[in-house]
């Protein structure tokens, strides 16, 4: 049995404002550079107003529809007590809670075990651009 190894990295992601930003390529390149063949990658978004998701990466309309749905589920408005950073502040926290801030992806044969149409996304819930960080932890052999 091969000895388990681990590797960590902080991936920086610049967002354009409210959007799904695909990070699959950057994550896959980092994973490949670690030289592991089997294992588990854990991703953690280090923010409370952005999140992570695995979603379809073929049709851009999917991302637009998801953003629109989240906007309807947690609309901006004066009905929130927390608005320290503006009217999109509390809705961004609700959206991050709904979509989650961590993911686990198996590593099989040296590759992320994503499906054909799946991609990894950072979901920016704020209107203005941000610099976000995602902590990566790979455990494997």
| 112, containing H or E segment | strand 111-112
How does pLDDT run across 70-108, given as a tens digit for each residue?
Answer: 999 999 988 999 988 889 999 999 999 999 999 999 999
Query: What pTM value is reported for the model?
Result: 0.95
Domain architecture of the chain: domains with CATH: 5-140 (2.60.120.460)
Residue 55: predicted pLDDT = 97
* CA pair distance 132, 45, nearest whole angstrom: 8
* Mean of pLDDT values over 23-43: 98
């Amino acid at each position: 049995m091969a000895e388990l190894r681990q590797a960590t990295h902080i991936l920086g992601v610049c967002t354009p404002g409210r959007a799904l930003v695909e990070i699959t390529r950057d994550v896959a390149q980092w994973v490949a550079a670690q030289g592991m063949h089997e294992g588990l990658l854990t991703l953690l978004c280090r923010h409370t107003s952005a999140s992570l998701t695995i979603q379809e990466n073929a049709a851009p309309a999917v991302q637009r529809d998801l953003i629109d749905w989240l906007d309807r589920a947690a609309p901006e408005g004066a009905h929130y007590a927390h608005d320290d950073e503006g009217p999109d502040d509390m809705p961004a926290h609700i959206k991050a809670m709904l979509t989650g801030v961590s993911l686990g992806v198996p590593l099989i044969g040296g590759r992320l075990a994503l499906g054909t149409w799946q991609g990894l996304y950072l979901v920016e819930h704020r209107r203005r651009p941000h610099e976000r960080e995602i902590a990566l932890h790979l455990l494997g052999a």
